[in-house]
Every structure is written in C-alpha cells, then in structure tokens.
Amino acid sequence: MRKRLFEIIEAAEDQDKLSAVYDWFMMAVILISLVPLAFHKVNLAFLLIDRITVVIFIIDYLLRLLTADLKLKKGAASFALYPFTPMAIIDLVSILPSLTILHGGFRLLRIFRLLRTFKAFRAFKIVRYSKSINMIIDVIKMQRKSLGTVAGLTIAYVAFSALVIFNVEPQSFDTFFEAFYWAMVSLATVGYGDIYPVTTVGRLVTIVSSVLGIAIVALPAGIITAGFMELLREQTEAAPAADETESAGEQPDD
C-alpha cells in the first residue's frame, strides 16, 4: 500500500498513468495557488483558493513524510531526515505563510506582505512534478564542472572590471558595490543606465566589458545545450536496449 502510494506521488514513470495524473493535478494546483500573488487586493475568491490549495499541499506533504523511508532508504531515520531535505523545506515554506495568515495575530500589513512573498516558493514545487525540468537539472548536474568553471570565470571578470572602473572613474562610483553592480549589468549587456561612466577611458572599459560579456554569457548556454543533446542521445540509445531486454524475457505461447 505505502509502496504504491510512493509510486503515485513521485514523478511519473512512462507506464504509470495514475502517477502522471497526480503530477498534472499538483502542477495545476501550484499554478492556481500562485494566482492571488499577482494581485495586491484580497477577496473571498483568493482566500478560498489559498485555503483549498494549502490543504492539498499539506496532504501532499504528509503523504511524502509517510513514505520518506522508501525515498531516502535510511530506515526509521528517514522520517526525521525528510523534513530537512531541500524539496521538503520548499514544501514547508510554501505552506506555513498560509497557516499563519489565518491567525489573528498576523494581520499587520507589513507582516502579511512579508509572509505573502514566501508563497512564491510554491513555484519551485513544480520542479518535482515536471520531467522536463528534472531533465534540465540532470544536465546541470552532468555539466557542473564546466558550469562551475564558467561561474568562476564570470565572478573573476566582474570583480576585475569593477576594480578597473572603480579606479578609473571614482567620481561616478561612490562604492565598490556600485562598480560591481555596473560590471554585472555590463556583462549581461542589460544597460539600465542608472549608473554609467562619463569619461572616455571609462566608456572604453564599458565597451570592452560589454563585448566580452556577450561571449561569457553565451558559454553556459552552449554547455547546457551540449549536455542536453548528450542526455537525449543516451536516452535514445537506452530505449532500444530496454525493448530488446523486455522482448527476450517474453516466452512464446505453446
């Protein structure tokens, strides 16, 4: 019973239609629960959405806690360890604000808005139910060394650019943080225009930073794309092998 329950609430296998229905249902509930966050005003419909969806989230959380040993495979300790896993923490953070808002002591507007922002964590719950997102996560795990190298290069380049512009144009940048912010914006070629150099040397530094930024920003996209294609190739090659194994296991009728 618990094993079947675990199979249903986890990401669906290709042949498990009931699990797929549960995944789609939970994704729909998550998206619906985010609708009130797009409005500043609260009405009865939004309150009903919040209370109904949070009840569903609580049931889902309890079911996962009930089958924690099947997921973590650490015996009785799994039930104590599960609440501290990343996805369980996201689940809990997305539930608690709704529970505290129902309490009269949390009616202050500032506290309400602060707690309301934590509900946005519900969006991260979609990761658990989406195969596509899980595939991207697998790609990132596969390419973590390459992506880590690019991340280190990016941080080093931004820090170096910030240091250069901070010393070239001290009149435009009061703090190193402002220079770092400018370097990050220039690297991403966003160009907000709130902080900018005014001297010729400073503008030349900006040109170089923007040009090199295009190349650096493109590196992670290329790495993830290559990893994604490799993962698809592995899955494509594994599928015929699985079919052959299944066919070999079938016995012809006499």
Closest CA to 113 of 30, 41, 54, 33: 41
* CA–CA distance, 229 with 206 (Å, rounded to integer): 35
What pLDDT does 120 receive?
Answer: 56
Buried b (16+ CB within 10 A) or exposed e, 122-139: bebbeebbbeeeeebeeb
Each domain of the chain, given as residue ranges in start order, spans 2-129, 142-249
Phi, psi of 219 (to 5 degrees): -60, -50
Report the pLDDT value the prediction gives residue 80, as an integer from 0 to 100. Answer: 92
User: How many angstroms separate the CA atoms of 6 and 14, rounded?
Assistant: 16
pTM of the entire predicted model: 0.55
Query: Which position has the token pair 């949390």?
Result: 106
pLDDT tens across 28-44, in order? 888 888 888 777 787 89
Q: How many residues does the chain have?
A: 254
Q: Evaluate whether 2-129 and 142-249 have a shared fold.
A: no
pLDDT for 55 equals: 92
What is the C-alpha to C-alpha distance for residues 69 and 106, in angstroms, rounded to an integer? 36
85-141 confidence digits (pLDDT tens): 888 888 888 787 777 554 444 443 343 444 445 555 656 666 666 667 777 777 888
**Cα(240)–Cα(13) distance, integer angstroms:** 17
The stretches in the chain having pLDDT less than 50 are: 102-116, 254
- CATH match for 2-129 among 1.10.8, 1.10.3470, 1.20.120, 1.10.3050: 1.20.120
- Judge whether 161 and 205 are in contact, CB under 8 Å: yes
Q: Does domain 142-249 have CATH number 1.10.560.10?
A: no
